[in-house]
């Protein structure tokens, strides 16, 4: 099975109040050293023993952080390193995350010429005041202009994010966001319910009473509304938080949810999976990562070997995220030797009675209600 390559770019213009990712402020000299280190890491990468097919790559994903803060020449340098180390398939999907206000028409054309053919940007909300609260550096006008600039630069595969359940956000506010998003007709939408992570500025602000606590019941109504609106607009709800026009699912992200799909992460905090049982993770600190690679010591700081039971469990809850595909129980038993119906009989009966799952033609899927309460279902398989 062809692999995906993930490249983490940890630099941001400023840190969002809800973010707990491995990111930091952009520094040009450090960014230059970092890009060289990532290219070196890619060049030194050793494929898993005996996994010849995994040398073929059909997706590359620049995530972060804000990869669009890099110069187009730096992106080109990293893609050249990928092409030198791997066999990159014709028509490979090459995605770059970007933030409005960090790109120009010229830089977008240069990114496109370098080989980037899919763009994903953090719009988050069509409300300038909410953007300010979140610590975003762009305005709604910036976001709209970025979308138009992407089209002019030749991007015909664009995704953007929206967040529901923001502090103080009403159902009417969310309805407005959906209206504004759908009129643009992006090929892909990632629509998330806000998660407040401990230690983030947003968590501290909520504890101090600066903003009202997110309302779980209102957030659930928002989720139901987005399901209805996106369906009416012709989008496929192919994963719990992801919607696409027909044939425009994120090919890279599908690898994370599909059993047996390898992906290789490069850069600080990047994670990898060999497609069978081995997972590994890189050093999280940017400067330390650069030091490790420069010293030839390698950036991997954690390795996990999944046993068959753990691999089976992981394949179940990740596969259930793919709402239309679900988990083929016969294929699962062949691959992992696990009879899901027997091993989880009580849980399956409970979830079925609650209307959270359905089993049809040996395929286990979440229902619409199950998608909203998916964490309760997944907990049974962890």
Q: What is the CATH number of the domain that holds 330?
A: 1.10.10.920
Residue 129: per-residue pLDDT: 82
Q: Give mean pLDDT, residues 309-333.
A: 94
pLDDT above 80 (res 197): no
Q: Is residue 144 part of a domain?
A: yes
pLDDT above 70 (res 367): yes
Q: Do the beta carbons of residue 146 and residue 100 sit within 8 Å? A: yes
Task: Based on the fold, state whether residues 233 and 130 are members of the same structural domain.
Answer: yes
Residue 19: per-residue pLDDT: 42
For 257-280, how does the pLDDT look when each residue is reduced to its tens digit (9 = 90+)?
A: 998 899 999 999 999 999 989 999
Dihedral in degrees, nearest 10, Cα atoms 282, 283, 284, 290: -110
Count of other CB atoms within 10 angstroms of residue 43: 11
Task: Based on the fold, state whether residues 14 and 104 are members of the same structural domain.
Answer: yes
Calpha distance 339→343 (Å, rounded)? 6
Task: Based on the fold, state whether residues 205 and 339 are members of the same structural domain.
Answer: no
Task: Based on the fold, state whether residues 171 and 48 are members of the same structural domain.
Answer: yes
Cα diameter, the chain = 58
Q: Give mean pLDDT, residues 284-294.
A: 95
Task: Based on the fold, state whether residues 73 and 193 are members of the same structural domain.
Answer: yes
Q: Give mean pLDDT, residues 41-46.
A: 95
Task: Based on the fold, state whether residues 150 and 46 are members of the same structural domain.
Answer: yes
Apex 191 CA angle, 6 and 270, nearest 5 = 20
Task: Based on the fold, state whether residues 156 and 78 are members of the same structural domain.
Answer: yes
Task: Based on the fold, state whether residues 22 and 151 are members of the same structural domain.
Answer: yes
Task: Based on the fold, state whether residues 111 and 196 are members of the same structural domain.
Answer: yes
Which of 42-56, 135-149, 174-188, 330-344 shows the lowest mean pLDDT across its residues?
A: 42-56
Nearest to 348 by CA among 337, 339, 357, 336: 357
Nearest to 40 by CA among 274, 290, 225, 277: 290
Q: Is residue 245 part of a domain?
A: yes
Task: Based on the fold, state whether residues 332 and 210 are members of the same structural domain.
Answer: no
Q: Is residue 268 part of a domain?
A: no
Q: Tell which of 229, 257, 285 closes a domain.
A: 257
Count of other CB atoms within 10 angstroms of residue 150: 23
Q: How confident is residue 52, by pLDDT bands cut at 50, 70 and 90?
A: low
- Bridge partners of residue 175, in order along the sequence: none
Mean pLDDT of the chain: 89
Q: Is residue 212 part of a domain?
A: yes
Q: Residue 27's domain is classified under what CATH number?
A: 3.20.20.70
Question: Side-chain half-sphere of 331: how many Cα atoms within 13 Å?
Answer: 13
Take residue 247 and report the two structure tokens written for it.
């044939």
Q: Do the beta carbons of residue 260 and residue 53 sit within 8 Å? A: no
Residue 195: per-residue pLDDT: 60
Task: Based on the fold, state whether residues 169 and 37 are members of the same structural domain.
Answer: yes
Count of other CB atoms within 10 angstroms of residue 137: 17
Which residues contact residue 169 at a Cβ distance below 8 angstroms, ignoring those fewer than 6 apart? 125, 127, 130, 218, 222
Q: How confident is residue 137, by pLDDT bands cut at 50, 70 and 90?
A: confident
Q: Tell which of 197, 223, 257 closes a domain.
A: 257
What is the residue range of 121's domain?
3-257
Alpha helix stretches (DSSP H) within the chain: 28-44, 72-85, 105-114, 128-134, 140-152, 171-184, 201-207, 216-232, 251-257, 286-294, 308-319, 329-336, 340-343, 345-353, 368-372, 374-378
Q: Tell which of 257, 277, 293 closes a domain.
A: 257
Q: Is residue 296 part of a domain?
A: no
Q: Is residue 283 part of a domain?
A: no
Q: Is residue 295 part of a domain?
A: no
Q: Is residue 270 part of a domain?
A: no
Task: Based on the fold, state whether residues 239 and 126 are members of the same structural domain.
Answer: yes
Domain count, the chain: 2
């Amino acid at each position: 099975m062809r692999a995906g390559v993930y490249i983490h770019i940890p630099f941001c213009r400023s840190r969002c109040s809800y973010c707990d990712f491995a990111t930091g402020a952009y520094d040009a000299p450090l960014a230059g050293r970092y890009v060289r280190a990532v290219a070196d890491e890619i060049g030194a990468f050793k494929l898993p023993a005996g996994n010849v097919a995994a040398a073929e790559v059909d997706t590359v994903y620049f995530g972060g952080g804000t990869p669009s803060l890099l110069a187009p020449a730096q992106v080109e340098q990293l893609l050249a390193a990928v092409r030198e180390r791997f066999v990159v398939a014709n028509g490979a999907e090459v995605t770059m995350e970007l933030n409005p206000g960090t790109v120009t028409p010229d830089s977008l054309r240069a990114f496109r010429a370098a080989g980037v053919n899919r763009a994903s940007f953090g719009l988050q909300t069509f409300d300038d005041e909410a953007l300010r609260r979140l610590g975003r550096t762009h305005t709604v006008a910036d976001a709209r202009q970025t979308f138009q600039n992407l089209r002019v630069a030749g991007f015909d595969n664009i995704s953007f994010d929206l967040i529901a359940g923001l502090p103080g956000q009403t159902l009417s506010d969310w309805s407005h966001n959906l209206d504004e998003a759908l009129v643009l007709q992006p090929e892909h939408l990632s629509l998330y319910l806000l998660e407040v992570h401990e230690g983030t500025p947003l968590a501290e602000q909520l504890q101090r009473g600066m903003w009202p606590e997110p309302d779980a019941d209102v957030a659930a109504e928002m989720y139901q509304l987005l399901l209805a609106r996106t369906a009416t607009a012709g989008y496929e709800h192919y994963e719990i938080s992801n919607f696409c026009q027909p044939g425009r699912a994120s090919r890279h992200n599908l690898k994370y949810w599909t059993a047996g799909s390898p992906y290789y992460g490069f850069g600080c905090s990047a994670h990898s999976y060999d497609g069978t049982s081995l997972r590994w993770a890189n050093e999280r600190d940017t400067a330390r990562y650069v030091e490790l690679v420069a010293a030839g010591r390698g950036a991997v700081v954690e390795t996990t070997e999944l046993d068959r039971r753990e691999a089976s469990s992981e394949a179940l809850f990740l596969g259930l995220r793919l709402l239309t595909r679900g988990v083929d129980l016969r294929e699962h038993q062949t691959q992992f030797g696990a009879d899901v119906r027997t091993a989880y009989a009580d849980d399956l009966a409970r979830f079925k009675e609650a209307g959270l799952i359905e089993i049809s033609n040996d395929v286990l899927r979440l229902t619409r209600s199950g998608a909203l309460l998916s964490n309760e279902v997944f907990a049974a398989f962890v």
